[in-house]
Chain A
Amino acid sequence: MTAQPDTAHTARSQRSPIGTSTRMTSRLTRAWRSQPLGVIASVYILLLLIFGVLAPVIAPYPPGKQNLLATLKGPSAEHLLGTDFLGRDILSRLLVGIIPSLGYAMTALVVFLVIGIPLGILSGFRGGRVDAAISRISEVLMSIPATIILLVVLAVFSSSPMAAMIALGLLASPGLIRVARGAALVVREEPFVTAAGVSGVSPTRIMATHILRRVLGPILVQASVFAGAALIVQAALAFLGLLSDGGQPTWGGMVGEASQVISFTSWPLFPPGLAITITVLAFGLLGDAIRDASSDEVSPKPRRRRRTAGAAVAKATTTPADAENLLSVRGLRVTLDSGVVLVSDATFSVGHGETVAVVGESGCGKSMTALATLGLLPEGVHADAGSVMFDGVDLLAGGAAAYAKVRGSQLGYVAQDALGSLDPTHTISSHLREVVSLHEKLSSADLRARTRELLEQVQIADPDRVLNLYPHEISGGMAQRVNIAIALAGRPRLIIADEPTTALDVTVQAEILALLRELQQGTGLSILIITHNWGVVADIADRAVVMYAGEVVETGSVDSIFHTPRFPYTAALLAADPSTATPGSRLTTIAGRVPPPGEWPVGCRFAARCPFARDICKEGPLPLMPMPPQSETRCVRADELKLNESLPR
């Protein structure tokens, strides 16, 4: 264990006696650093409210005071924001207009929350008929444009702004109901709520305390966004002159007055219009900040991607002994953009017509190795050292152009998620036609014949029927056959299959493996298969590559790996495999867990879990060493250990 937890502990115990004000400041600094716009928006809204309350005191002129000798003036020392068509001071009217403008929006907000929160939580928490009824009514309310309903309300209720704002809150509440419902649905299933229910806490209390607290984040986001929307609607109605404002200026009304004199001057449009825009923007930014704050706790932002194609990659390119290998991966390193290394040293090769399996527990970097070899790493991850020699060309150094040359035509890929790997909006025929056309210029009839042929090659019995189906109409096993057909379309020399059978039923697994084996034998294809299943290794592979914590720890023929493992992890993994265990005896497990990326020790990464570990194992980085006749291992004690004795056979 490192010293990290200790320092954290002392830091905490030191912090507690410090005064609350200091803690507040540090919290504000943190908020400022992560959400500067959110802080600015909150400060702006706070200041706006203070100015609004103080408006009668701080406004330079009474808002209704006319001066017909000084109408429509621009900004001056006397009137900082100029005067309107009756010579009234625009700044004063803007300040006095804060409370009515925001006040009406807040009325709508209160109605929005009072209706939306309880109904949403009730709907999500109770489910069933209550949920169905609330959802149906919400659906109807959401389908009618709110604006027109507000006009009806105003027509009936003599332009009452109160009635309009209550109606607005009501009409918008389905949006909040939906959000609160969704959040409550998630929280309902969580253990602490279930536990509270079991221990006899009444449902009302659970809803009011536990769920409300948890769904507060999304509700605040909605509330903030709606406050802005309500302000816009209120301003629009005031602008149209449909609200009886009782003589008080509102921002929307001021824009309306300004629009009457637009042919003389446009100036009076700007102060109230910008006030509305900036305030709505502030509410929007506040909502965004709340949303980010509630999701930030989960994942820190990745740093910007740094591409290091140069020196590090070029270092290990030339390896003369690779002539007989189709694929030779040397010292491949895969790194997150944040700098965390996921794979530190993947070194293995695949010969012509050979099937090689990469084995290891989840989290050892097998899939990342496969994707890096294919040049298909997801966003935020990149290969920044080592070489991927394919047929004598370093693909990693060659970059996108080198990959473009071999993909499909030389290198095929089969993924784990068979159905998800097919585009749901295209038929099987459409998939195959597109891929075949990339490699061969064929007439329409020949194209159809070729797609049929591909499906026959993957042993699909009725290709003509399957061609016209969409992915959702076929089974997982069938989908995996189609994926193999897609991989075969360009007649590749190597197929990289990432756990191709893991997601399938056991019987289908065997069929897919048999298919791969037959294809390999029939066409002289090379296969690199990623798996965590020794059964798959035994079934199909010639050689195996064992990975642990981001590096290759052992390579060798399947025979030598199974019978004379040269790395303790391999032996332990074999002993823990249910298919090789002695029936009736207790299945061995490996104590501990794979150290996650970023927490790898300097020496042997398996040492902490290894029964044979000595001090020498922990001293420094260990290279992959050749072990005659044809194996490689990273174990420094490989010569002295007799690991095959620890196997259950």
Chain B
Amino acid sequence: MLKLALRRLAFSVPLALIASMLSFVLMAFLPGDAAQSLLGSNATETQIQALRDELGLSRPLWEQYWNWLTSALRGDFGTSLVSRQPVAEILNARLEPSLSLIIGATLVASIIGIAMGIRAAKRGAMGKVVDSGSLIALAIPDFWLGLILVVLFAVQWKLFPPTGYVSISKNPALWAVSLVLPIITLSIPAMARIAKQTRDAMSTALNSSFVRTLRAAAVSERSIVHRHALRNAAVPILTIIGLVFIGALAGTVAVESIFAIPGLGSTAVQATAARDLPLIQGVVVYFTLIVIVVNLLVDLAYGYFNPRVRVR
């Protein structure tokens, strides 16, 4: 397991490098000059030159990247072109809302999705529910689903606030309330994916030879499902939970925008609209780091559930 984790860590370094390099590489494809393109055709030559100097565009790309990278390693991701605040400062403040949302959605989706998947693996009506339900749940665009929830629960029935976020440190109750609709929005497609994967993994496990041995030895169906099959199905389920977490991370882009949550996703949208390159570059790095940490945690969890991984 340690070896697996180390391998994953070794893999993370090039991953982080490639992800961070991306916007610099893309700029090379831009016709003309990034500063000109960023400011648009109405900008004066002085404005363009000022931005050029700020971004260091007169230097070759590799040198620009090197300068960015050496600063980034010290925790300095530059300054936002719009707010003039340090990028790291802006993004650190955005972490709590985003992580609350993503972790909440992953937890809700995992608990309900796994429960549904287990029931579905045992045939009967739940199998059909998971089949057709997941097809529909994965077809509904998250941004539209979020809006429909706002219409129903906030505008129509006034059960939850339509938008906004309250920090957990300010008021935990309001924090929870402000997260209900966004978490439902993110967790519905996630739940579908987890339920489907759990159903498949559980069916495979329940059809293994060892299940027959256990049945022959009078081991209860309850123990076969929960103690044995579920443990054997854990690795594929963990894999999908990791993917769902990363999917929820990407989902924050639309969902935080709808619910006006000041997180990484909504910041990324604003930065893109304002063409605030240093800020969006910072979001890429934060996203990538979160992905790396999640993958690492999933690997460690594999080892817990699968003794074959553990020994190696």
Contact = CB atoms under 8 A, between A and B. Distances in A.
Contacts of B14: 140
B66 interface: no
27 contacts: A144-B15, A145-B287, A148-B283, A152-B280, A156-B26, A236-B253, A239-B141, A239-B144, A239-B254, A240-B253, A242-B273, A266-B151, A277-B136, A280-B138, A284-B135, A284-B139, A374-B216, A407-B216, A415-B209, A420-B209, A420-B210, A424-B210, A424-B306, A427-B307, A473-B311, A486-B217, A490-B218
Nearest to A288: B135
Given A236-B143, A415-B209, A157 B26 contact: yes
Given A151-B253, A242-B269, A422-B210, 19 more contacts: A147-B250, A152-B280, A155-B272, A155-B275, A156-B23, A236-B142, A239-B144, A240-B143, A242-B273, A255-B141, A255-B144, A276-B141, A278-B139, A376-B212, A407-B218, A413-B213, A415-B212, A423-B214, A470-B311
Interface in A411-453: 411-413, 415, 417, 420-427, 434-435, 438-439
Interface stretch (B56-64, B175-183, B224-232): B224-232
A60 B143 CA distance: 29
Interface string A279-302: 011001100100000000000000
A645 B97 CA distance: 88
A183 interface: no
Contacts of A374: 216
B144 A277 contact: yes
B246 interface: yes
B291 A144 contact: yes
B65 to A, nearest CB: 14
B67 interface: no
A413 B216 contact: yes
B12 to A, nearest CB: 9
B166 interface: no
B188 to A, nearest CB: 12
B238 to A, nearest CB: 13
Contacts of B139: 228, 277-278, 280-281, 284
B155 A144 contact: no
A483 interface: yes
B213 A486 contact: yes
A378 B209 CA distance: 10
A426 B217 CA distance: 15
A611 interface: no
B50 to A, nearest CB: 19
A476 to B, nearest CB: 13
B141 A273 contact: yes
Interface in B240-275: 246-247, 249-250, 253-254, 257-258, 268-269, 271-273, 275
A629 to B, nearest CB: 35
A525 interface: no
B90 interface: no
A288 B136 CA distance: 13
Contacts of A434: 219, 223, 227
A71 interface: no
Contacts of B305: 425
A376 B213 CA distance: 9
B171 interface: no
B42 interface: no
A145 B291 CA distance: 8
Interface in B35-58: 37
A140 B18 CA distance: 8
B150 interface: yes
Residue among B223, B272, B281, B311 having the largest count of chain A Cβ atoms under 10 Å: B272
B144 A276 contact: yes
A336 interface: no
Secondary structure of the A side of the interface? helix
B142 A438 contact: no
Secondary structure of the B side of the interface? helix
Given A144-B291, A148-B283, A235 B214 contact: no
Interface of A: 139-140, 143-149, 151-158, 228, 232, 235-236, 239-242, 252, 255, 258-259, 262-263, 266, 269, 273, 276-278, 280-281, 284-285, 288, 371, 374, 376, 378-379, 404, 407-409, 411-413, 415, 417, 420-427, 434-435, 438-439, 470, 472-473, 483, 486-487, 489-490
Given A239-B143, A281-B139, A149 B22 contact: yes
Contact of A148 (B138, B223, B284): B284
Contacts of A288: 135
A251 B119 CA distance: 37
A487 B213 CA distance: 8
A421 B254 contact: no
Contact of B308 (A146, A147, A404, A472): A472
Contact of A269 (B144, B218, B284, B292): B144
B9 interface: no
B34 interface: yes
Contacts of A376: 212, 215-216
A569 B212 CA distance: 32
A376 to B, nearest CB: 6
A393 B257 CA distance: 68
Given A143-B295, A151-B269, A434-B219, A423 B232 contact: yes
Interface string B127-141: 000000001101111
Contacts of B148: 266, 269, 273
How many chain B residues sit at the interface, stated as a range, is 35 or more
Contacts of B288: 144
A241 B273 contact: yes
B111 interface: no
Contacts of A278: 139
A105 to B, nearest CB: 12
Contacts of A285: 135
Among all A-B residue pairs, the 5 with the closest Cβ atoms = A408-B218, A413-B216, A147-B250, A420-B209, A281-B139
A24 B171 CA distance: 67
Nearest to A267: B151
Contact of B218 (A280, A409, A421, A426): A409
Contacts of A240: 143, 253-254, 257, 269, 273
B108 interface: no
A268 to B, nearest CB: 11
B216 A148 contact: no
Contacts of B37: 156, 158
A472 B231 CA distance: 16
B92 interface: no
Contacts of A486: 213, 217
Given A143-B295, A152-B280, A435 B219 contact: yes
B5 interface: no
Nearest to A495: B216
Contacts of A412: 216-217
Given A144-B15, A151-B269, A281-B135, A422 B213 contact: yes
B216 A269 contact: no
Given A145-B249, A255-B143, A423-B214, A284 B138 contact: yes
Interface in B60-83: none
Contacts of B147: 255, 258-259, 262, 269, 273
A160 to B, nearest CB: 11
B141 A235 contact: yes
